[in-house]
Chain A
Amino acid sequence: MTPSVPDLMFYAFAVLILACGALVAFSRNIVHSGFALLGVFTGVAGLFGLASATFIAAAQLIVYVGGVLVVILFAVMLTKGIGEPRRSNPMVHPVPALALSIGLTALCVLAALSFHGNAPPPEPPDSVAPLGDALLGPYLLPFEFLSLLLLAVLVGAVMTVRKEIKPGKEERA
């Protein structure tokens, strides 16, 4: 039984995600970690595409690669002295942290493997139109709350980073 092309693509994306994720987690240089996030986000977008969630894949590329990653890289490069590998990321307690993470991950993997065998992949649906119907139908209220949240985030982020012009008149909370 030879693996099909989507299967090979799945493994390629999985290897990309895990390799870049390991680089993010273990690199001593925070700039390298930031750029490795690019591989993680792209690989996750590929997994979304393989799971026939094409709109989510495109949104992942636009929002994460085009937005979040750029914000993170700006923050890394605007922060003085962060690029020095020695003081950028000292390990706190590596042994208990690694033990806890490995234990929890093993638990998650065991739980994931219990789903084995129940999934002959069903027919891929046309996903974008039902997605829009769902967003404006049963999920309308959370959708509108999210737009409110985004507005609040926009104002809050600008208020947080703005320069104080008149410190005496309007004290920062």
Chain B
Amino acid sequence: MTLHIGLSHYLVVAALLFGLGLVCVLTRRNAIGLLMGIELMLNAATVNLVAFGRFLQNGVSGQVFALFVMVLAAAEAAVAMAVVLAVNRSMKTIQVSETVHLKE
């Protein structure tokens, strides 16, 4: 094993980051905490895309898909935060186990 950084280094970091995001999603009851975990997992996937594009193809396809993921993550964050604020205004809580009704 050489000291030089290769594809597997990126993949290991991304896998560990994905695991942390999964823990965050599974153990939180707070809607914003859940969204933070989802952001972690999306970032891990993006690192994978860029690393594969760099080391296996050496082109820009991986970067294009990383950009797409980034746009989707931003859209998801905006809509999710709007929903969280609306739910918080009408139900006074954002614990996902308590907001089980679609209407008041």
Contact = CB atoms under 8 A, between A and B. Distances in A.
Interface string A3-14: 110110010001
A109 B16 contact: yes
Interface string B25-43: 0111110110111011001
Contacts of B6: 115-119, 121
Interface in B1-25: 1-24
Contacts of A121: 4-6, 54-55
Contact of B11 (A63, A88, A112): A112
**Chain A, interface SS category:** helix
Given A56-B50, A76-B32, A153 B75 contact: yes
B15 A51 contact: no
Given A25-B20, A51-B50, 19 more contacts: A10-B9, A21-B21, A25-B37, A41-B43, A60-B70, A64-B39, A68-B74, A90-B29, A92-B97, A102-B19, A109-B12, A111-B15, A115-B6, A125-B59, A127-B60, A139-B64, A149-B75, A153-B79, A157-B79
Interface of B: 1-24, 26-30, 32-33, 35-37, 39-40, 43, 46-47, 50-51, 53-55, 58-64, 66-68, 70-75, 77-79, 81-86, 88, 92, 94-95, 97
Interface of A: 1-4, 6-7, 10, 14, 17-18, 21-22, 24-26, 30, 33-34, 37, 40-41, 44, 47-48, 50-53, 55-56, 59-60, 63-64, 67-68, 71-72, 74-76, 78-80, 82, 87-94, 97-98, 100-102, 104-105, 108-109, 111-119, 121-123, 125, 127, 130-131, 134-135, 139, 142, 146, 149-150, 153-154, 156-158, 160-161
27 contacts: A2-B3, A3-B3, A21-B21, A33-B33, A33-B36, A40-B43, A47-B10, A50-B5, A56-B66, A60-B70, A64-B43, A67-B77, A68-B73, A90-B29, A97-B26, A102-B19, A108-B18, A119-B6, A119-B7, A121-B55, A134-B61, A135-B64, A149-B72, A150-B71, A150-B75, A156-B79, A160-B86
